[in-house]
Amino acid sequence: MRYNLDAMRSSAAALEELILEWKSQSDKLFEIHEEIDAMWDGNANDAFNSKFLDQDKPKYDKLYNELNSYYESLVAAINKYEEAESRIADIMK
């Protein structure tokens, strides 16, 4: 079975762009939270902060790390496949 390395690289690059865009948007979400937090006091704010920062933010961070790990694994697989193809080509010369 032969893989199309150009298509794989293109997919990896597209995935990386999506991950970076998602990270940028989630960072903006937490920046907006800081702005809201500065204007909002009271028990409801404390409850929201507890939920949003203590429970939700770690999930955002974990998702980013998992997506990034998947991207890195994909790139590593592409590189290993390319190295194997190169070694085989050298042997066949």
CATH number of the domain where residue 87 is located:
1.10.287
Residue 10's pLDDT is: 95
Domain range enclosing 17:
5-91
User: What pLDDT band is residue 5 in, cutting at 50, 70 and 90?
Assistant: confident
The CA R_g of the chain, rounded to the nearest whole Å, is: 21
CA–CA separation, 68 and 75 (whole Å):
11
Q: Which residue has 């970076």 as its token pair? A: 20
Could you read off the pLDDT of 19-28 as tens digits, one per residue?
A: 999 999 999 9
Which of 57, 60, 58, 35 minimizes the C-alpha distance to 45?
A: 35
Residue 11's pLDDT is: 95
Q: What is the pTM of this model?
A: 0.81
Both tokens assigned to 61:
């961070």
Q: What is the dihedral of CA 88, 91, 92, 93, to 10 degrees?
A: 130
pLDDT at 1 > cutoff 70 = no
Total structural domains within the chain: 1
